[in-house]
């Protein structure tokens, strides 16, 4: 059974940067798409960014465009989320998600991803 493991969260001041990492543990992993979601306290989990595994097509939520960059290293089976110019409203638990069935179409809906990590906390202080 594959598990997704996120790392790289922490506390940073507004305007700072963090890089999150998502890596699978367990057997070889060949997803169609890997995405990042986040959940702020009291809010629904929301889509942040996604990347297709073979073509590297990327998609971003409007709230993070121009500040966040999603990328992947196929050799390491790892996906990154580089977060720059962080704002206090970026504070959330960030989750890595992957889709291994159904194809590489874009979706920001949670139910289109069948593997999830446990999340990593990102806190941006003002």
Give pLDDT, residue 75: 85
Residues 10 and 20: their CA atoms lie apart, in Å, by 10
pLDDT at 2 over 90: no
14-to-1, 17, 19, 126 alpha-carbon distances in Å: 38, 9, 15, 5
Give pLDDT, residue 10: 97
Beta bridge partners of 39: 93
Give pLDDT, residue 76: 87
Residues 4 and 2: their CA atoms lie apart, in Å, by 7
Structure tokens of 105?
A: 């179409």
Averaged confidence pLDDT in the chain? 94
């Amino acid at each position: 059974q594959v598990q997704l493991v996120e790392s790289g969260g922490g506390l940073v001041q507004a305007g700072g940067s963090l890089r999150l990492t998502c890596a699978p543990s367990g057997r070889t992993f060949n997803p169609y798409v890997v995405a990042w979601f986040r959940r702020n306290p009291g809010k629904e989990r929301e889509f942040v960014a996604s990347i297709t595994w073979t073509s590297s097509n990327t998609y971003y939520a409007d709230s993070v465009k121009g500040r966040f960059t999603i990328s992947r290293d196929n050799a390491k089976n790892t996906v990154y989320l580089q977060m720059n110019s962080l704002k206090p409203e970026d504070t959330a638990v960030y989750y890595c998600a992957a889709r291994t069935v159904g194809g590489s179409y874009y979706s920001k809906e949670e139910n289109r991803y069948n593997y999830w990590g446990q999340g990593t906390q990102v806190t941006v202080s003002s």
